[in-house]
């Protein structure tokens, strides 16, 4: 059963959230997004956008309270390349989390080497975040999976983050926007357990409130 609309709002931006049960997607979702994927964003004109980075780029250009992309076109392009590179880490993490069994040596190496690249990149940046003194698009786009990374320790990966990344991760948890949706590892583990049992609990967060 789909969850009801949840009205929320940030200063100056009002929106509604519609939660989708991904095991039983409503037909109307495919009318909005032919791929049937989430997230999807329906704007005032009735147009629907999908794919996380496309939605984030649109919102960054549509609202100007805090522009997330660097002003320098070259740095913006390089950050987008890093987001694409991190997607390879995400794909490996997702495969490990969703499949039963301990992490393989190949997967462990793929995740560790990928995170080492970001440790090196972060060390070359000015400030605690990739964007400097405040989080930017690169910080926010990789954050959701970095929030979940501790789960991998359950499967044998004990060396996830290096020094600068640990400092970055702590700083991200203190950032007010992240705090609005921050979940501890127990929530992620409970969902993972429900998924592996064949009954993914998509309402886990809602039912906890």
CATH number of 73-187: 1.20.1050.10
User: Alpha-carbon distance 72 to 174, whole Å?
Assistant: 27
Q: What is the pLDDT of residues 131-159, one digit of tens each?
A: 999 999 999 999 998 888 877 776 665 55
- The CA-CA-CA angle for residues 123, 84, 144, to 5°, reads 75
Contact 26, 20 (CB under 8 A): yes
pTM, two decimals, is: 0.83
- Predicted pLDDT of residue 160: 65
Cβ atoms of residues 52 and 144 within 8 Å: no
Residue 82, class by beta-carbon neighbours within 10 Å (0-12 exposed, 13-18 middle, 19+ buried)? middle
- pLDDT tens, position by position, 10-23: 556 788 989 888 88
The mean per-residue pLDDT over the stretch 83-90 comes to 89
Confidence of residue 8 (pLDDT cuts 50, 70, 90): very low
Q: Which residue has the higher pLDDT, 27 or 21?
A: 27
Q: How far apart are CA 129 and CA 138, in angstroms?
A: 9
3-state per-residue secondary structure call for 51-95: CHHHHHHHHHHHCCCCCCCCCCHHHHHHHHHHHHHHHHHHHHHHH
CATH 3.40.30.10 applies to domain 6-62: yes
Confidence of residue 201 (pLDDT cuts 50, 70, 90): confident
Instruction: Name 180's Cβ contacts closer than 8 Å, sequence gap at least 6.
Output: none
What are the residue ranges spanned by the domains of the chain?
6-62, 73-187
């Amino acid at each position: 059963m789909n969850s009801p609309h949840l009205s929320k709002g940030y200063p100056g931006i009002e929106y509604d959230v519609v939660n989708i049960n991904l095991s039983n997607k409503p037909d109307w979702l495919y009318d909005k997004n032919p791929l049937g994927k989430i997230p999807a964003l329906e704007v005032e004109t009735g147009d629907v956008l999908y794919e996380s980075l496309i939605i984030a780029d649109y919102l960054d250009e549509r609202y100007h309270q805090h522009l997330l992309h660097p002003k320098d076109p070259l740095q913006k392009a390089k950050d987008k390349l890093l987001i694409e590179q991190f997607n390879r880490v995400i794909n490996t993490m997702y495969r490990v989390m969703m499949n039963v069994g301990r992490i393989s040596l190949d997967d462990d190496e793929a995740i560790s080497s990928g995170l080492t690249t970001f440790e090196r990149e972060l060390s070359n940046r000015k400030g605690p975040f990739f964007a400097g003194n405040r989080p930017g698009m690169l910080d926010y786009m990789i954050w959701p999976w970095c929030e979940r990374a501790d789960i991998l320790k359950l499967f044998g990966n004990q060396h996830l983050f290096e020094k600068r990344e640990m400092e970055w991760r702590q700083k991200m948890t203190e950032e007010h926007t992240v705090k609005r949706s921050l979940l501890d590892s127990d929530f992620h583990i409970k969902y993972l357990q429900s998924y592996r049992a064949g009954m993914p609990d998509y309402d886990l967060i809602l039912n906890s409130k």
